[in-house]
């Protein structure tokens, strides 16, 4: 029997914990079906809270838990970090404070070399322990910039849904916990069990990227530079404009180098790359919500060269425009 412990602190997201419990429960049923002689379940899963009180969810539910002081974390075959409701830096700080009683036991557990997994906002509190310094990881896509600012020593990989590096396994936003749970089943019980379970749960084992789901309209900006905000607003309203950076900087009484420096300081990218992302984001919206021809969309977002647009679109979304429309446009016929 494999023991899996789920660490739950703060205002946890109920769907994540329940998804893990469901996946491992289904796995136990499947295991008994193919091994009727087995006396024990394949997995024993329980939730651990900082004080032994039930884990409180963002929807007001309570999940029974044991306290970390009464738990020998080193007895676990794998440890999973549940996510909490985090949308900004202040909520992350509150999550870190709630998670504090787990830090020393988790650091000790890491020395065993056994698997540690986290998804969504749980990846940020895992990074806050210092365990992810020099380690490849992913995180929830709308907190990417916050992650980069606070944990620069982690190697962030946002083009994958699940990232594994040695004993650490991390996943992206919300429903990625299902992919992470299947990944952990594979780590603990083997590929065949995980693949069969993916068919039972209708969770595709090849969900490989968060990129198609990313949208700038939901990404949180952490800067207070009013001039950069003004340039951002102008860009949003003038997607088809062909002015160069010298002209753009002049409109806001700045030099080109100053504009680039302030953009990098505020947004960790250049004005040009930011403008490209805005255009791709608008193209995604049009592909999702209209039946406009691709050439019309390319023109609407200010690109004259369809080949360069297609290449850039695929780089940023991991899909071609046609594949993106097929995946996300509700008007697309079967």
Query: Could you tell me the two tokens for 225?
Result: 């530079």
> What is the pLDDT at residue 315?
84
Q: What is the domain-level CATH number for residue 29?
A: 3.40.50.880
pLDDT tens digits, one per residue of 177-186: 888 999 999 9
Section 80-99 average pLDDT: 92
Same domain, 111 and 241: no
Is 136 or 160 the better-scoring residue by pLDDT? Answer: 136
Task: Give yes or no for residue 6 having a pLDDT over 60.
Answer: yes
Same domain, 55 and 191: yes
> What is the pLDDT at residue 213?
54
Size (the chain), residues: 334
Quick check: 24 and 181 in contact, CB under 8 A?
yes
Query: Could you tell me the two tokens for 13?
Result: 């997201």
Indicate whether 218 belongs to any domain: no
Task: Give yes or no for residue 307 having a pLDDT over 80.
Answer: yes
Same domain, 206 and 228: no
Same domain, 29 and 171: yes
Section 37-46 average pLDDT: 91
Indicate whether 334 belongs to any domain: no
How far is residue 277's CA from residue 132's CA, in Å, rounded to a whole number?
28
Q: How confident is the model at residue 319 (pLDDT cuts 50, 70, 90)?
A: confident
Q: What is the domain-level CATH number for residue 271?
A: 1.10.10.60
Query: What number of H helices and E strands is found in the chain?
Result: 13, 11
Compute CA distances 144 → 150, 179, 195, 259, 280, whole Å.
10, 20, 30, 23, 18
Quick check: 247 and 255 in contact, CB under 8 A?
no
Indicate whether 233 belongs to any domain: yes
Same domain, 246 and 161: no
The tally of domains found in the chain comes to 2
Inter-axis angle of helices 14-34 and 176-189, nearest 10: 40
How far is residue 325's CA from residue 334's CA, in Å, rounded to a whole number?
12
| Least confident segment among 64-73, 80-89, 126-135, 196-205 | 196-205
Among the candidates 184, 210, 236, a domain finishes at 210
Query: Could you tell me the two tokens for 136?
Result: 């490849």
> What is the pLDDT at residue 334?
39
Same domain, 262 and 324: yes
Same domain, 104 and 80: yes
Same domain, 7 and 128: yes
Same domain, 8 and 144: yes
Compute CA distances 6 → 58, 66, 99, 171, 181, whole Å.
17, 10, 12, 15, 11
Q: Which of 20-24, 60-64, 128-132 has the highest mean pLDDT?
A: 128-132
Is 318 or 52 the better-scoring residue by pLDDT? Answer: 52
Q: Residue 82's domain spans which residues? A: 2-210
Nearest C-alpha neighbor of 275 from the set 321, 315, 308, 242 = 242
Q: How confident is the model at residue 81 (pLDDT cuts 50, 70, 90)?
A: very high
Among the candidates 154, 186, 210, a domain finishes at 210
Same domain, 198 and 286: no
Q: Is the dihedral of CA 24, 25, 31, 34 positive or negative?
A: negative
> What is the pLDDT at residue 333?
46
Indicate whether 203 belongs to any domain: yes
Q: To the nearest whole percent, how much of the chain has pLDDT over 90?
A: 43
Indicate whether 204 belongs to any domain: yes
How far is residue 294's CA from residue 100's CA, in Å, rounded to a whole number?
50
Among the candidates 210, 233, 263, a domain finishes at 210
Same domain, 249 and 205: no
Same domain, 116 and 198: yes
């Amino acid at each position: 029997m494999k023991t899996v412990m789920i660490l739950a602190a703060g205002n946890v997201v109920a769907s994540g914990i329940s998804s893990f419990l469901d996946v491992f429960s289904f796995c136990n049923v499947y295991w008994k079906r193919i091994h009727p002689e087995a006396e024990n379940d394949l997995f024993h899963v329980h939730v651990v809270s900082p004080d032994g009180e039930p884990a409180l969810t963002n929807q007001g539910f309570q999940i029974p838990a044991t306290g970390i002081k009464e738990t020998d974390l080193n007895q676990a075959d794998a440890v999973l970090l549940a996510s909490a409701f985090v949308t900004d830096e202040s909520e992350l700080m509150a999550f870190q404070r709630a998670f504090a009683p787990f830090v020393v036991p988790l650091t000790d557990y890491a020395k065993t070399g056994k698997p540690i997994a986290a998804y969504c906002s749980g990846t940020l509190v895992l990074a806050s322990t210092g365990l992810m310094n020099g380690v490849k990881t992913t995180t929830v896509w709308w907190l990417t910039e916050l992650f980069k600012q606070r944990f620069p020593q982690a190697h962030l990989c946002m083009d994958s849904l699940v990232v594994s590096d040695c004993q650490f396994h991390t996943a992206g936003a919300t429903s990625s916990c299902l992919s992470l749970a299947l990944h952990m089943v594979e780590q603990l019980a083997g590929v065949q069990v995980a693949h069969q379970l993916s068919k039972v749960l209708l969770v595709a084992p090849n969900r490989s990227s968060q990129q198609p789901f990313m949208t700038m309209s939901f990404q949180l900006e952490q800067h207070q530079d009013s001039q950069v905000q003004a340039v951002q607003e102008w860009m949003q309203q003038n997607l088809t404009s062909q002015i160069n950076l010298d002209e753009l900087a002049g409109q806001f009484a700045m030099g080109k180098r100053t504009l680039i420096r302030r953009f990098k300081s505020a947004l960790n990218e250049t004005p040009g790359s930011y403008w490209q992302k805005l255009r791709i984001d608008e193209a995604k919206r049009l592909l999702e919500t209209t039946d406009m021809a691709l050439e019309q969309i390319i023109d609407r977002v200010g690109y004259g060269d369809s080949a360069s647009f297609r290449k850039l679109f695929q780089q940023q979304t991991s899909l071609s425009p046609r594949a993106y429309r097929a995946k996300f446009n509700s008007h697309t016929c079967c």
